Structure 1
Amino acid sequence: MELRYYGIPVSPGVAIGPALVIDTEGIRITHRTVIPEQVPQEIARLRQALDQAVADARDNRQRITALHGPALGNIFAAHESALADPAIRTQIEQLIREHNYSAEYAVSRLIRDYVKKLEDAAQRVPEHARAEVLRRAAEFIDLEKQVLVHLLGKDSEPLQELSEPVIVLATDLMPSDTADFTPRTVLAFATEKGGNTSHTAILAGALEIPAIVGIGKFLTQVSGGETVIVDGDQGVLIINPDESTLAYYEEKRAALLSRADRYLLLRDKPAVTLDGVPIRLLGNIELAHEAQHCLDRGAEGVGLYRTEFLYLNKTADPTEEEHYEAYRAVILTLGADKPVVIRTLDLGADKFSSLSSSVAEEKNPFLGLRSIRLCLQRLDLFKTQLRAILRAATLGDVRIMFPMISTVEELRQCRTLLNEVKEDLLEEQVPFKADLPIGTMIEVPSAAILADLLAREVHFFSIGTNDLVQYTLAADRNNQQVANLYNPADPAVLRLIRQVVEVGKRKEIEVNVCGEMSGEPLYVPLLVGLGLRQLSATPRKIPEIKRVIRQLRTDEAEQMAQVAMQLETARQINGYLREQLRRILPGEAE
């Protein structure tokens, strides 16, 4: 019987294949205590297992770093550090000596105590910080699993030895579970737990395989080997599809592959309208190796390099050298002639080990200490990143962008700090680029309203439509109860975008759109019609956008924008844009 489940789509595409269920619920421990004479032997077994687990974590870190860059590799660096921590080892050995626990039980007892404390703490922190605390608890369970595998001599079947690629289904996926994932072995994955910011979601995007997380309970309905479908566009998992469903998705998958082949032919062609107006297309990236994805999709550079992942899955904040090496990798991949816009840190205080004590003070995280506000309070973090950006800028066309600017004073503070860092580097005789372009995100209404004043301070604007929609309409984009209000085509949002674009024209500074809106073909004619000549999107969206641009005339785009701006509701505007896209590209507006 066909079963359907719905979750959070975190990586698009359609995959059809056999299910492989990964058990992430732990390993059964067969005995709890040993006789006193066996205690030295248990400690020896413990030390050997910990050393083997450290070696595994080190190997995983090196392999993942080589494949996907240091950001994902840092997950296993944190594991390596925790497993080698003398304090943890001493506490486990103490349990064995004092209670005659077996090595397995002592490991499980200590780590489960840690997990219980974290889960209790999660109930006392604000909702926005809860996911991060629970993620840390899950990673401790992963550490337990890695050690027990060596103590009990049990391991799962290596993915490389499978006879055919699979679709992985799991309660959740730990870093150790995903270390061997490649597009050759894993077609897609779906999990009962997780969110769109989990490391598994980020890995899916890096591998470019379809993925769904946060589905809820479904593993009781699958044992492995069944045919399953993962629709990463709509967030649908289908177990045992019937013939008609299978035929539909086979056709959809074939259409997507055909479209991908068609888009590949556009890679080296310019993004120019039918009447000869060039539109610069740039990529949004989070991991260093995604710079290659930009080149593969025909992007002209990186319009948004998110740097937050450098801070996640780590026991300490990243060093200047870690920042520098990540930026250097992107610049060297793209070449010195392609722009790289590096956005400074855009996270809340709850993501920092050094700031954990301030988490409980946050009552409304979206209006609290996050992004540039955090950086202006934690100057050590901010200056470390600024130093690395200035140094890396000597290697290519690097530009710096400040997020969530809401006042002119904030922007001026950022510029002052940047100048201070330049003076420090000059005094230390460290090479850096002094004249790199400075930009600001326009993602809160106050910034859009003050665009004419902000334009005096910067060389370019980048409109972050995700937050701009959220703050303009007072609708949390992650809250399903107000999802109907969150719409980038709302007239209020469009008026703010138009105002910013008009300021850019008057002040002769570049204006880019780097939110999800710029990656949707539906909105491309509207944005071009409003006067945008630069768009930045996820690399895999670049070919779709380019196809729309190459079938569009700027005069008809301007006419579409004029009509859209006269409509009164987001529903009316979306309906009108769909009609127009069907005319421009038949079949592309569904």
Structure 2
Amino acid sequence: MTLALTGHAVGRGIAIGRSHLAEGSELEIGEYRIGADEVDKEIRRYRNAIDAARHQLEELAGRVSRNVGIGAAEIIQTHVLMLSDSRLRDGTEDHIRRELCNAEWALQMQLERMLLEFRSLDDEYIRSRGEDVAQVVRLVQNKLNEEAADKPFENMPDRLADTLVISRELTPGELAILHERGVAGIVTEHGGPTSHTAILAKSLGIPTVMGVRRAQSLLREGEILVLDGGLGVVYADPDEAISNHYLEVQRITRRFKNSLEAIRDLPAVSLDGQRISLQANAERPAELQMARDEGASGIGLYRTEFLYLQGAPPDEETQLAEFAAAIALLGGIPLTIRTLDLGADKSTDYLDFSQLRRCANPALGLRAVRLCLRDTDLFKTQLRAILRASALGPVRCLIPMLTSVQEIRMVHLLLDESREELEERGLDYDREMPVGGMIEVPAAALAIEELGRHLDFISVGTNDLLQYTLAADRVDEQVAHLYDLQHPGVVRLLRHIFREAEALRLPATVCGEAAGDRQYTRLLLALGLKEFSMHPGRLLEVKQVVRETDIPKARAALSHWFNLPPGSPPMSLLQVINESQR
């Protein structure tokens, strides 16, 4: 009898093969007391475990860089950096001194405190960094426990072709090892779609489903599995109908990928001759390199939050070094740097997760530009780094969550102050660096005419814009069905944004998930969008739709849909637009 298990759809694609249950056991972390004269020895034992974990990760990163790619190794390096996190290190050592307890227990207590803070955050991406901290701590605990296995998957076969690995969880390093061995697919009991492991699975093209509850107890060693990474479903012992269906899907997928390869070097031009700009969202070198490889015309959204996840906020030189590396890697295509988009309950001279919390309405709280305008020292440090980066290549500065002209004026004032400070230090910058704003709040969308006069470009964040417009959280399964880009109110709001931007001759981009979802490409083109920014892995798919679309016909279909008389049978907007292309 077929068993169907569901989880988070992470790595798209179909995998068919036999299951292999990855060995792994939970370390039992016990507490015991030490004498006051043993504290220094226990702290040395903890630091030695940190050093051993760092050595293992750096050795793994070097091998993975050679065998898998620089991008995979770079993600593993984020775990190396976490080992140096001052809150993790100092909090553990302080607990040892204060409670006179063993290092394992102190480390576990510090982890639980940090995870509690992560879980209280509203931002899904930032919350998921707690998974990375837990994985790093697990490695250190293994080093503290002399009986724990020193190498991951040492008892697993060297070749995993046609094998789907079932694991409780996977670190990015462990995933890279499985990729080296040719794994066909991955199923984990824990982990989410924004974790670093998930990001790596996507970039490596491994069909993956994460967060499948009790997968290791429900699935048997060696049984036939079908994994649908796009739907987030795993079938155990599939019947003939399911097997045949997915074998056909695999054949169709291969043909689809071949059709994408055929247009890789062709321009993104519609059937009626309109050239469309396809850009990428990115934050780390792996994604930047993928964007170049996939033919992105620029980076429409470069996230900077990762720089603030290493404890103390980064200084100007640290940020500049990251921006400079990105510019060099991109080889001359534009880089749009979004300023810090985090939330906090108060302004401080430092920023860590003890300052970030869940308030009564976290999405409506002190976040993004609101936080930056409250903590101007933090903001100006980043603005100076962005300005200096603009001297190294084409850079644009993007301000998130604007709602008023007053906010834009304050940003420009701080930019002017930052420019003066750089000039006093004799440092160069691009005096014509474009400054744009993200349109994520309905009030900002309705005030484009006023806001746009103070901006050089706009970028529409459809994720938040839909959430605020529809009062529905897309990650809340109870109301996720209300989160709909085809809602008439949303469609009219987007049409208003693009019309006003065109009247102002203001470049407009969509950088939310809708930009990379090929089912919405024709709708966005019909609304007047000329610039898309998306995950690099979606660029060729969207380009294919652009090249197969007659935009005037799509616009006529949209106009027809808007003007349907009252009482007309309900019609899917996407269906109406797609039928116009036949």
Bucket of the pairwise TM-score, normalised by the shorter protein: 0.7 to 0.9
Tell me if the contact between 2:282 and 2:299 (Cα under 8 Å) persists in the aligned partners: yes
- The TM-score with structure 2 as length reference comes to 0.86
- CA gap of 1:512–1:118, structure 2 versus 1, over 3 A, is closer
Of the candidates 436, 450, 453, which is equivalent to residue 433 of structure 2?
A: 436
Shift of 1:456: 0.7
What SS does the aligned partner of 2:455 have? coil
Shift of 1:46: 6.8
Shift of 1:122: 7.7
1:379 aligns with 2:379: no
* 1:266 alignment counterpart: 263
Shift of 1:402: 0.8
Amino acid at match of 1:109: W
* 1:164 alignment counterpart: 160
* 1:392 alignment counterpart: 389
Tell me if the contact between 2:22 and 2:153 (Cα under 8 Å) persists in the aligned partners: no
Of the candidates 320, 327, 334, which is equivalent to residue 323 of structure 2?
A: 327
Q: How does 1:169-568 map to 2 (within 5 A)?
A: 169-174=166-171, 177-178=174-175, 180=177, 182=179, 185-312=182-309, 314-336=310-332, 338-349=333-344, 354-360=351-357, 362-566=359-563
Deviations along 1:105-155, whole A, 9 cap, x unmatched?
A: x443333333455567789x5776995696477246414443146554554
- CA gap of 1:432–1:442, structure 2 versus 1, over 3 A, is same
What SS does the aligned partner of 1:168 have? strand
- CA gap of 1:430–1:122, structure 2 versus 1, over 3 A, is closer
Alpha-carbon distance in 2 for matches of 1:259, 1:471: 36
Tell me if the contact between 2:303 and 2:338 (Cα under 8 Å) persists in the aligned partners: yes
Which is worse superposed, 135-144 or 526-535? 135-144
* 2:81 alignment counterpart: 77
Deviations along 1:349-386, whole A, 9 cap, x unmatched?
A: 38998344444572211001121112222223322222
* 1:6 alignment counterpart: 6
Shift of 1:550: 1.4
- CA gap of 1:513–1:242, structure 2 versus 1, over 3 A, is same
Deviations along 1:454-497, whole A, 9 cap, x unmatched?
A: 11111111111111111111111111111121101111111111
Tell me if the contact between 1:283 and 1:302 (Cα under 8 Å) persists in the aligned partners: yes
* 1:67 alignment counterpart: 71
Amino acid at match of 2:26: G
Q: Which runs of 5+ in 1 are unaligned?
A: 100-105, 586-590
Shift of 1:189: 2.5
Tell me if the contact between 1:20 and 1:225 (Cα under 8 Å) persists in the aligned partners: yes
Amino acid at match of 1:298: G
Alpha-carbon distance in 2 for matches of 1:573, 1:45: 68
Alpha-carbon distance in 1 for matches of 2:525, 2:91: 59
Alpha-carbon distance in 1 for matches of 2:385, 2:455: 20
Tell me if the contact between 2:61 and 2:73 (Cα under 8 Å) persists in the aligned partners: no
What SS does the aligned partner of 2:401 have? coil
Q: How many residues align?
A: 571
Alpha-carbon distance in 1 for matches of 2:278, 2:284: 19
Q: How does 1:135-146 map to 2 (within 5 A)?
A: 135=131, 138-139=134-135, 141-146=137-142
Which is worse superposed, 528-537 or 130-139? 130-139
Amino acid at match of 1:346: D
What SS does the aligned partner of 1:290 have? helix
Tell me if the contact between 1:12 and 1:231 (Cα under 8 Å) persists in the aligned partners: yes
What SS does the aligned partner of 2:397 have? strand
- CA gap of 1:424–1:43, structure 2 versus 1, over 3 A, is closer
- CA gap of 1:335–1:44, structure 2 versus 1, over 3 A, is closer
Tell me if the contact between 1:61 and 1:76 (Cα under 8 Å) persists in the aligned partners: no
Amino acid at match of 1:300: S
- CA gap of 1:159–1:186, structure 2 versus 1, over 3 A, is farther
Which is worse superposed, 415-424 or 154-163? 154-163
Alpha-carbon distance in 2 for matches of 1:3, 1:235: 14
What SS does the aligned partner of 2:281 have? strand
Alpha-carbon distance in 1 for matches of 2:246, 2:140: 39
Q: CA RMSD in A?
A: 3.8
Alpha-carbon distance in 1 for matches of 2:7, 2:565: 32
Alpha-carbon distance in 2 for matches of 1:148, 1:572: 67
- CA gap of 1:25–1:390, structure 2 versus 1, over 3 A, is farther
Tell me if the contact between 1:439 and 1:462 (Cα under 8 Å) persists in the aligned partners: yes
What SS does the aligned partner of 1:16 have? strand
* 1:15 alignment counterpart: 15
Deviations along 1:227-252, whole A, 9 cap, x unmatched?
A: 33332211112233333323322221
Q: Which runs of 5+ in 2 are unaligned?
A: none
Alpha-carbon distance in 2 for matches of 1:43, 1:502: 63
Tell me if the contact between 1:404 and 1:444 (Cα under 8 Å) persists in the aligned partners: yes
Identity of counterpart residues, as a percentage?
A: 35
Shift of 1:210: 2.8
